[in-house]
Structure 1
Amino acid sequence: MKQKVKILAIVAGFMVGPALSTSAMAQACCPSDGHTIAATTGLGQSMPPATNLAVDPAWRVYAFERDGVQYLQVNDANGLVRAAIGRISETTWVMPIGTDVNRITISASANDSSGTLIYRSGPIAIRALQTAQGNAWVFTTSEN
């Protein structure tokens, strides 16, 4: 009987251990905590090998980092690349990729709450706006 209990405890440990580590990983990568896990490849791809960090199911937001430069890419649910920015320290710029590249605004105003919030991590928030010309994007780069 003691042998069966010991085996069950070991099996339970193997089953619960990964669940706990997955939970810890989810907490470490959530968009709201300022600690996104960035991929090192895949920028510009429709299905990059990166975690979707969007809080709105209609969108996909991917974080990348390479050589000290951070990138955020927005795709729609079908994988079409819509917008992307690059960031080094406090300098942010629009990347020349995506179908909505001409409708991207970078705002330093923490009070900008127009549109639908799709991502927030640390000083960066991304909002989607519906316009007559199509989707527009506001990337806010300061803390609220």
Structure 2
Amino acid sequence: MTLRGGLCCALIAFTGSAFAQTAAPAQASALGQAWPNVADQSQSPNWHAYVFFLNGVEYVQINDTNGTVHAAIGTTGGATIVLPVGVDSQNVNTSSSSTSTSTTTTVYSDSQIQITATPQSNGTTQFMAAGCSASAQCSGGRGG
């Protein structure tokens, strides 16, 4: 199986189990919007972080200060997945092997996930989404 095929299967399994649980709250329909009608929970003045919940899955959407959607990440039960949303969706890393630099900024953090942003020399932003565990403690945001 190719990497792309494996990722598609993982995405289907991830979303299928999540959507089979309960009905969606009204605010979840705003995921992907430039200015969703939910509170900005960013820990950085350079970013907006919008948090949505749908069927036991937490989704965090990262926008810049102009409202451009850069990335969206879903997390539940220790699993983290990058959604194909935003201009930097291909620049989101969910592996635990990442190095931060002096330009790395924490955008959002709660008891489930920590998301950082690092500007790149080509004008894009590299986002790191790390699930929280005993080895990766997160604080702040909604659950901190």
Kept in 2, the 8 Å contact 1:41–1:48? The answer is no
2:111 is matched with which residue: 105, 110, 122? 122
Match of 1:93 in 2: 81
Kept in 2, the 8 Å contact 1:103–1:136? The answer is yes
Write out the 4+ residue segments of structure 1 that deviate beyond 2 Å after TM superposition.
111-114
Q: State the 1:51 CA deviation.
A: 0.7
2:57 is matched with which residue: 69, 82, 100? 69
Residues of 1 paired with 2:44 and 2:62: CA distance? 11
Q: State the 1:113 CA deviation.
A: 4.5
Kept in 1, the 8 Å contact 2:49–2:62? The answer is yes
Match of 2:33 in 1: 45
Structure 2 unpaired stretches of 5+? 1-26, 138-144
Aligned length: 106
Identify, as 1 or 2, the structure richer in helix.
1
Kept in 1, the 8 Å contact 2:114–2:129? The answer is yes
Residues of 1 paired with 2:115 and 2:66: CA distance? 19
Residues of 1 paired with 2:53 and 2:34: CA distance? 17
Q: State the 1:112 CA deviation.
A: 5.5
What TM-score comes out, normalization by structure 1 length?
0.67
Q: State the 1:79 CA deviation.
A: 0.4
Q: Are 1:59 and 2:60 matched, yes or no? A: no
Q: Are 1:136 and 2:105 matched, yes or no? A: no
Kept in 1, the 8 Å contact 2:32–2:69? The answer is yes
Q: State the 1:120 CA deviation.
A: 1.0
Match of 2:16 in 1: none
Q: Deviations over 1:31-78 (max 9, x none)?
A: xxxxxxxx4331000000111000111100011011222111000001
Match of 1:13 in 2: none
Match of 1:81 in 2: 69
Q: Which moved more, 1:90-99 or 1:62-71?
A: 62-71
Structure 1 unpaired stretches of 5+? 1-38
Residues of 2 paired with 1:49 and 1:89: CA distance? 26
For the pair shown, the structure with the greater C-alpha radius of gyration is 1
Aligned 1:23-42 pairs, distance under 5 A = 39-42=27-30
Identity of aligned residues (%): 32
